[in-house]
Structure 1
Amino acid sequence: MYTVYGKPMTRTFRVLWMLEEIGAEYDLVPAAPRSPEITALNASGKVPVLQVDDDYVTDSTAIMTFLGDRHGALTHPSGTVARAQQDAVTHLLLDELDAVLWTAARHSFILPEEQRHPGVKDSLKWEFAGNAARLAERIDGPYLCGDQMTIADIICVHCLNWAIGAKFPLENQTLADYAKGIRSREAFQRVRALAT
């Protein structure tokens, strides 16, 4: 049994989705970012945090990688070329989609108001569109890494959903179709119900 700390409308969604996909039991503690409960577990105040017995794992990607390796699901085996390729796509998503969206969020509501520069968002939307178009060209199967769904797909679709919510235009039809197919998965739908 795992305990997940965080609210589903954050990157916690990714971890909950993975747990639903692999059928692992978990409890959800809907703690807010930077709350005393979270900062006691993660000095950065970021969610999600995964409790495993008496240990804690932070960062959604680290948590999903741990779960994938532990359960042998949604990941290629460690030490294989397929895993290295999966990790490369995962890091590309974190660098080119997630980081752009996070920067926009920081300049929208996270940073102190006097530190925000809302004008940067137009540049970020342009950057996101170009990165998304290049990503779409890499899709070589129903999933980002071919015929097998991996944690990269969870990160990607979560970022695409985040982009839509942040009013970043998603004009690439290949990516839109890919995301629509993944959103139809039952595990995604169960977590989406938690987030509403």
Structure 2
Amino acid sequence: MYTLIGLTKTRTFRVKWALEELGLPYTQRQAPPRSDEAMEHNPSGKVPALIVDGATLTDSTAIITYLADKHSGITCKAGTLGRARQDGFTHLILDELDAVLWTAARHSFILPEEKRVPEVKESLKWEFARSEAVLVAQMGDGPFLMGEEFTIADIVLTHCLDWAIGAKFGISQSRLREYLKTVHARPAYIAARAD
């Protein structure tokens, strides 16, 4: 059994969803970022953390990659062209969507107030919309990033798109709005959202 540390409303959701997709048993400890429990498992205080056989793994994308590889699901096999394409999507999402949302969050409520530059959010929204168009141009015809196959790249993308909606960035691409309807209907997504 895995032990998942972190609040579902954080990037912890990515790991929780992967565990649900893979049908793996886990317990979750709802530790907020920078709480004593979060700091115990990650000196940065960031969540999620996953306890595996007494070891602690950190970083949501590293954790879901480990789980997918270990349990041979929701991923293309390492060393294949499919995996290289999947990893390309994952890194594009992290670099161009997640990083923009994280910067906006830092300038909204994370940084000390005197360090925040709220005016940066408008340029970040523009950058996010531009990156959406780049992503859509690379998507194939299937319902998911990798066509008919749902992978961890879809988990990271969906989390970022949900985050963008919550942060009032919105979704500029109709293809991504339709994509969200498809992934939001997945039973594992629904189960992971339930607390």
One-letter code of the match for 1:145? Answer: M
> Aligned equivalents of 1:192 and 1:126: distance in 2?
29
Map of 1:58 onto structure 2 = 58
**1:95-134 equivalence runs, <5 A:** 95-134=95-134
- 1:49-74: per-residue Cα shift (whole Å, max 9, x none)? 00001101000000000000000000
The alignment status of 1:89 with 2:89, answered yes or no, reads yes
Once the two structures are TM-superposed, the CA of residue 40 in structure 1 deviates from its matched residue by 1.6
- The one-letter code sitting in structure 1 at the alignment partner of 2:174 is Q
**Counterpart residue number, 1:155:** 156
Using the alignment, how far apart are the partners of 2:109 and 2:192 within structure 1?
Answer: 25
For the pair 1:165 / 2:161, whether they are aligned, the reply is: no
Name the TM-score, length of structure 1 as normaliser: 0.97
Distance in 2 between residues matched to 1:174 and 1:137, nearest whole Å? 10
Q: CA deviation at 1:37?
A: 1.1
Post-superposition shift, 1:41? 1.1
Question: Quick one: distance in 1 between partners of 2:83 and 2:102?
Answer: 26
The correspondence of residues 68-87 of structure 1 with structure 2, limited to 5 A, is 68-87=68-87
Shift of 1:28: 0.2
What secondary structure, in the 3-state scheme, does the structure 1 residue paired with 2:67 have?
helix
- Which ranges in structure 2 are unaligned for 5 or more consecutive residues? none
**Distance (Å, rounded) in 2 between the aligned partners of 1:170 and 1:91:** 19
TM-score, length basis structure 2: 0.98
Corresponding residue for 1:146? 147
**Where do 4+ consecutive residues of structure 1 move more than 2 Å?**
none
Stretches of structure 1 that go unaligned for 5 or more consecutive residues are: none
RMSD: 0.7
Report SS of the residue matched to 2:8. Answer: coil
Query: What is the match of residue 45 of structure 2?
Result: 45
Q: What is the alpha-carbon distance in structure 2 between the residues aligned to residue 159 and residue 179 of structure 1? A: 11
Q: CA deviation at 1:89?
A: 0.7
1:120-158 CA distance string (max 9 Å, x none): 000000000010111112221111012210000000011
